[in-house]
Amino acid sequence: MGRIVDYNLTEELEHGIFVSCLVRDLARELNLDEPVVYRLTLAGLLHDIGKLRLANYLYGTEKIVSPLVVEEMKYVRMHSMLSYDILAERGYDDPLILESVRYHHENFDGSGYPANLKGDEIPLGARIIRVCDVFAALTTDRPYRRRFDADEAVRLMIDEIRHFDLKIFLAFERVIHRTGTKYRVRISAGDDEIIRLFGAEREKASEGGPEAYEADGMEPDEEERVLHESDTAPSII
């Protein structure tokens, strides 16, 4: 069996830029104040930075056997909490940014993680990032599937509409009608500096390893749920 998750620093940066641009446009479409738009745009860029720490623990070998899948997915589910921790350690103290990053994998119907928040319990910024994150992932090539075009991705998201705040999703559809996937980027060899800056974090693994983190609200049986069963939560894979 190949690896469920394939980590690539450049691809993660490209994903962050894509999500960030979508978040900016969606926040403006929702008529949020420009200072809020700026802060959410930053949260969109940094939402998956916790994967940099997970990489040291998950990707040391080329092959895994299936009993390890459960443990690997448990660690992957920690990435939003790790992202929150990294930003806090680096001096980010803006609750809007921190909470948007921490809860960007919560689903509107309460089926997400790390805290199984539901509806308006989920911070607005996290609900915005959730929609943008899923679309960006669906329209990007993965090791196990080709990317979907914008229309296909929106149709797939509609099939799982229970995961999203409907008001935000309708605004997102208007954004995508104008932009499609134009924000999908490729980082070139000339962008080595940004790769080095983010790569430094990968070397700073959390003390004690990921075992020190527990995702709030995660039931033991949930660890057995392979996350790429549904492409509505593909942003971590």
Identify any residues that bridge with 142 across adjacent strands, giving them in sequence order: 145
DSSP 123-182: -HHHHHHHHHHHHHHHTS-BTTBPPPPHHHHHHHHHHTGGGS-HHHHHHHHHHHHHHTTT
Q: How many domains does the chain have?
A: 1
Structural domain contains residue 1:
no
Identify any residues that bridge with 145 across adjacent strands, giving them in sequence order: 142
- CA dihedral sign of residues 146, 149, 151, 157: positive
Q: Quick check: 74 pLDDT over 70?
A: no
pTM to 2 decimal places: 0.76
Structural domain contains residue 234:
no
Structural domain contains residue 34:
yes
Of the candidate ranges 26-30, 58-62, 159-163, 179-183, the one whose mean pLDDT is the lowest: 58-62
Structural domain contains residue 182:
yes
Of the candidate ranges 23-37, 51-65, 80-94, 97-111, the one whose mean pLDDT is the lowest: 51-65
* CA atoms of 80 and 129, how far apart (whole Å): 12
Kindly report the CATH number assigned to the domain that includes residue 54.
Answer: 1.10.3210.10
Structural domain contains residue 31:
yes
What three-state secondary structure class fits 67?
Answer: helix
* CA atoms of 17 and 8, how far apart (whole Å): 14
Which tens digit of pLDDT belongs to each residue from 48-65? 998 887 766 555 444 444
Of the candidate ranges 59-68, 97-106, 142-151, the one whose mean pLDDT is the lowest: 59-68
Structural domain of residue 120, as residue ranges? 9-215
**pLDDT of amino acid 162:** 97
Distances (CA, A) of 128 to 23, 30, 70, 168: 7, 10, 29, 7
According to the 3-state scheme, what is the secondary structure of 29-65? Answer: HCCCCHHHHHHHHHHHHHCCCCHHHHHHHHCCCCCCC
Which tens digit of pLDDT belongs to each residue from 119-130? 999 999 999 999
Structural domain contains residue 64:
yes
